[in-house]
Amino acid sequence: MEIYLPIAEQSMNVFVLLGLGAAAGLLAGMFGVGGGFLATPLLIFVGIPPTVAVASQANQVIANSISSLQVQWRRGNVDLRMGLILLLGGMLGSTAGVSLFTYLKRIGQIDFVIAVLYVLMLSTIGLLMLFESLRTYLRRRRNPEGPRGKLHTHYLVHRLPLKLRFYKSKLYISALLPLGIGFGIGVLSAILGVGGGFVLVPAMIYILGMPTSVVIGTSNFQILFVAANVTFLQAATNGTVDVVLALLLILGGVVGAPVGSRLAARLSGVVLRGLMALLILAVATELLTDLLRTPGSLYSLAPRDMAP
Amino acid sequence: MWLAAIAGLAALLWTSAMAQGPPRIEPPAGALVGPTLGGSIDPVPPSVPSEAVAPDLVVDLSVPRVSITSAFQGESILLFGMFDPPGEIVVVVVGPPFRETVLRKQRVLGLWLNIGRQSFDDVPAYYAIAASQPLQRLLARGAGGEILSLEDRLSSVRAIGERPADELAQFRNGLVQVKRQEGLYPAAIGQVTIQAGRLFRVELPFPSTLPEGVYEIRTYLLRDGKIAAAVSRPLPVGKVGFSAELAGWASREGSLYGLGAIAMALVVGWIGGALVRRL
């Protein structure tokens, strides 16, 4: 069954879009990431113009996040204080990121930066997560009853000023840390056009040392607002949000998200992190081969609104 | 015949110029002025007499416009008509002109990146040709004049900025490649079928990626490799109904549309989430 997408200006199979939405929803429910880093390349692959894919994907992430947040909130898995500080950083960062995006576009290097940033970030995060979860998994198997060790290790960053207590996360760290992370995520999400969950979740686990259970709810909280901000800015400045496309993705996601949440509740944190690491590495590998492989066609058309 | 055509046209223009009084006949509101050929600004180029004075060739379309609705999947339009034999028919469909920017990938340190870019002005959004005989044979004996193959048409698009001619040609070929993949520059010449020696018909297929705008369908009657008559018809392509309203809203009031999109996502996400969990 085909449907015409009024902003993307083409018709597309309804079930392909529903399926894509369900996949993104599954990720959102399972790992607390928006799924944009996976769904956006896929949308572009099936032929949606990149500008429309990025903007409509942001719109879908809103629904995914609110749907996932409902569950997490009820279970008390949202660290509101942490979320608000991350959000503050995120808003500042995305504003800075938009300026950077405009500058890169002007000097004509935005494509290069996006492609390389994606590959570098995804492969770094993926590898780090994979090694960490493998190490934890092996240690636990070897020594199941052994000492748990410290809740988290202490680095230099824990000596920063403005320390705050985060009760839900069982942390006593400087507010500058989540603020800085939020800022970095904001910059990235403005440049790459994704919610940034796939960077935020590992950062919360490994840099802040938050427990995995709280990470998903809290990142969903932050992503909800960042995605709303991106949707608004894209609609107001570029007019590239396709609500018909977004609605189909959302409907798919509505089914996928709770399935993901239930799966996540059943799996242990280590397995969950390992799976996410593999997924991130798979996307990174795909993007890297795209950069390395001789393309079928050397030519493409720039979106009309991006023409100089 | 040409003299008669020009004289008839002059008479028409003269009478319409004289008719300044109130009971002036206006063209219907939906009628659109057909784009002129070859960029000429003459009211009617001499080779294209208006339909009224060229009874040698009568053309009509199965639909007055292409309506892009929510169920639009591309559309096939029937063009049909009648001509005074002998002769052959050529139909050229030209989409509205746009500025297009072609990107070219290049290998940098082993990575394929979009390095080169070249913009062209006046690139037709769509270009298709249909003919009752192989085009080369029809046009062999004398230049077809304004009947341009896609290659000829594109050789006239204006490149923006300076670049060596051979590189420009590469970018132009790249443009055709991309457009062809999107189905906007069909490679095959459509088949015009002629029945009873004077009736003709041709299916014009349009893909779902069709850009909006006023398209021009030019039908030529060829005799001995020369254009004996030509009729130009505008074909508006536009979104209607729900699609049109959404697209209009998005372009007119982007901020409000954005807020609406956010609200939609929140409501559907919330209700959908609650519903599915209850199952």
Tell me if chain A has a CB within 8 Å of the CB of B111.
Answer: yes
Provide the ipTM: 0.79
The rounded mean pLDDT for chain A is 79
Tell me if chain B has a CB within 8 Å of the CB of A155.
Answer: no
What pLDDT does residue B267 have?
A: 94
Q: What share of chain B is helix, strand, coil (3-state, %, to 5)?
A: 30, 35, 35
Lowest mean per-residue pLDDT among A268-277, A299-308, B56-65: A299-308
What pLDDT does residue B27 have?
A: 43
Q: Which one, of A5, A49, A47, lies nearest residue B239 by Cα?
A: A5
Cα–Cα separations (whole angstroms), residue B133 to B83, B150, B194, B221: 15, 17, 10, 12
pLDDT reading at A90 higher than 60: yes
The residue ranking higher by pLDDT, A170 or B14, is A170
What pLDDT does residue A303 have?
A: 65
Rounded to an integer, what distance in angstroms lies between the CA atom of residue A18 and that of residue A20? 5
The identity of residue B11, as a single letter, is A
Cα–Cα separations (whole angstroms), residue A38 to A11, A21, B74, B128: 22, 11, 29, 37
Mutate to test the interface with B, among A4, A51, A224 (most CBs of B within 10 A): A4
Contact A307 B119 (CB under 8 A): yes
Question: Judged by CB atoms within 8 Å, which residues 85-114 of A form the interface with B?
Answer: 108, 111-112
Give the Cβ contact number of residue B23 at 10 Å: 5
What pLDDT does residue B11 have?
A: 45
In chain A, what's the furthest Cα-to-Cα distance? 64
Contact B272 A231 (CB under 8 A): no
Tell me if chain B has a CB within 8 Å of the CB of A211.
Answer: no
- pLDDT tens-digit map of B176-196: 888 888 888 888 888 889 988
What pLDDT does residue B38 have?
A: 44
- For the record, the structure tokens of B206 come out as 């349009």
- For the record, the structure tokens of A73 come out as 């909130």
pLDDT reading at B45 higher than 60: no
- For the record, the structure tokens of B28 come out as 């219907």
Task: Please state whether beta strands B199-206 and B158-160 pair in parallel, antiparallel, or not at all (unpaired).
Answer: unpaired
The residue of chain A with its CA nearest to that of B102 is: A301
Question: Judged by CB atoms within 8 Å, which residues 218-247 of B form the interface with A?
Answer: 239, 242-244, 246-247
pLDDT reading at A210 higher than 80: yes
Contact B178 A301 (CB under 8 A): yes
Please report residues of B whose CB lies closer than 8 A to that of A302: 100-103, 117
What pLDDT does residue B37 have?
A: 42
The residue ranking higher by pLDDT, B27 or B255, is B255
- Which pTM does this prediction carry? 0.71
Rounded to an integer, what distance in angstroms lies between the CA atom of residue A75 and that of residue A72? 5
What pLDDT does residue B139 have?
A: 67
From the list A6, A250, A258, the residue facing B268 with the nearest CB is A250
Rounded to an integer, what distance in angstroms lies between the CA atom of residue B254 and that of residue A143? 59
Question: Judged by CB atoms within 8 Å, which residues 49-88 of A form the interface with B?
Answer: 59-60, 62-68, 70-71
- For the record, the structure tokens of B33 come out as 């002025």
Q: Could you name the CATH architecture of B16-97+125-144+185-243?
A: Sandwich (2.60)
Please report residues of B whose CB lies closer than 8 A to that of A258: 273, 276-277
What pLDDT does residue B234 have?
A: 92
User: In chain A, pLDDT over 70 holds for what percent of residues?
Assistant: 87
The rounded mean pLDDT for chain B is 77
Lowest mean per-residue pLDDT among A109-113, B24-28, B46-50: B24-28
Question: What are the extents of the domains in chain B?
Answer: 16-97+125-144+185-243
The confidence band for B161, taking pLDDT boundaries of 50, 70 and 90, is: confident
User: In chain A, pLDDT over 90 holds for what percent of residues?
Assistant: 4
What pLDDT does residue A145 have?
A: 55
Please report residues of A whose CB lies closer than 8 A to that of B108: 112
pLDDT reading at B220 higher than 60: yes
pLDDT reading at A80 higher than 60: yes
The residue of chain A with its CA nearest to that of B67 is: A4
Give the Cβ contact number of residue A200 at 10 Å: 28
Rounded to an integer, what distance in angstroms lies between the CA atom of residue A171 and that of residue A196? 23
Question: Judged by CB atoms within 8 Å, which residues 28-67 of B form the interface with A?
Answer: none
DSSP reduced 3-state for A245: helix
Asked if residue A68 lies in contact with residue A257, where contact means CB atoms within 8 angstroms, the answer is yes
Question: Judged by CB atoms within 8 Å, which residues 6-45 of A form the interface with B?
Answer: 6-7, 9-11
Shortest distance, CA B221 to any CA of chain A (angstroms):
34
Shortest distance, CA B157 to any CA of chain A (angstroms):
16
Please report residues of A whose CB lies closer than 8 A to that of B177: 297, 299
Contact B103 A237 (CB under 8 A): no
Tell me if chain A has a CB within 8 Å of the CB of B71.
Answer: yes
From the list A2, A62, A236, the residue facing B73 with the nearest CB is A2
Burial pattern A31-65, b for ≥16 Cβ within 10 A else e, equals bbbbbbbbbbbbbbeeebbbbbbbbbbbbbbbbbb
What pLDDT does residue B12 have?
A: 43
What pLDDT does residue A106 have?
A: 66
Shortest distance, CA B172 to any CA of chain A (angstroms):
10
Rounded to an integer, what distance in angstroms lies between the CA atom of residue A61 and that of residue A69? 12
What pLDDT does residue B80 have?
A: 92
**Among the ranges A1-10, A105-114, B206-215, which has the highest mean pLDDT value?**
B206-215
Please report residues of A whose CB lies closer than 8 A to that of B73: 2, 4, 11
Give mean pLDDT, residues B149-156.
74
Lowest mean per-residue pLDDT among A130-144, B3-17, B100-114, B177-191: B3-17
- pLDDT tens-digit map of A155-168: 555 666 667 777 77
Count CA atoms within 13 Å of residue B42 on its CB side: 13
Shortest distance, CA A153 to any CA of chain B (angstroms):
37
Shortest distance, CA A22 to any CA of chain B (angstroms):
13
What pLDDT does residue B266 have?
A: 93
